Amino acid sequence: MRSQPNIIVTGTPGVGKTTHCEGLAESTGLKHLPINDIVKERGCHDGFDEEFKSWIVDEDKLLDAIEDEVKQGGYIIDWHACDLFPKSWIDLVVVLRVDSTLLYDRLKARDYPEVKLQENLDSEIMEVLLQEARDSYDEEIVVELTSNTSEDMESNVERIGGWVKQWRKDNAGNAQ
């Protein structure tokens, strides 16, 4: 058993995943695991998609690359997908949501190609990632949080920090 929880923070690009993860890592001592960086640094991809300006992720290589670390616990997984991570690895799935007008502005500011911008807006509007989380994990560990403002983010980080504190208390006997 793990002595530290693993959390996935997921959502459409531009919802504030990385900012949330950095704040959480700072307040809880858990390690931020930015999957985009892992994909690049550890070669867990099949090349680069020019149209979408993103890496083509090899999910098997990715899981192999992080398995030993994540199985020990203590990680905040930062990625726009969650369904590939085994249920046994994950204790909480946080799906960040944002108003589509705000999301459009955030993605535009990142110079997203129009096709990628539109796909991500559609994904947010259709609640694709929320549904993916609900389909992949037990309902009681999936939490949907709004991330429109910095106040939302602070409140979310505080709330998740409280969850981590409780998880540690409830699982104190699990340390190996």
Establish whether 19 is an annotated binding residue. Answer: yes
Q: Cβ neighbours of residue 68 under 8 Å, at least 6 residues apart?
A: none
Helices (H), the chain: 17-28, 35-41, 59-72, 100-109, 114-125, 128-136, 150-170
Establish whether 61 is an annotated binding residue. Answer: no
Cβ atoms of 74 and 174 closer than 8 Å: no
Separation of alpha carbons 45 and 53, rounded Å: 13
Establish whether 28 is an annotated binding residue. Answer: no
Nearest to 89 by CA among 27, 137, 135: 137
Establish whether 106 is an annotated binding residue. Answer: no
Establish whether 23 is an annotated binding residue. Answer: no
Instruction: Quote the Cα angle for 18-22-26, to 5°.
Output: 170
Separation of alpha carbons 160 and 56, rounded Å: 31
Establish whether 134 is an annotated binding residue. Answer: no
Q: Detail the residues annotated as belonging to a binding site for ATP.
A: 14, 16-19, 110
Q: Detail the residues annotated as belonging to a binding site.
A: 14, 16-19, 110
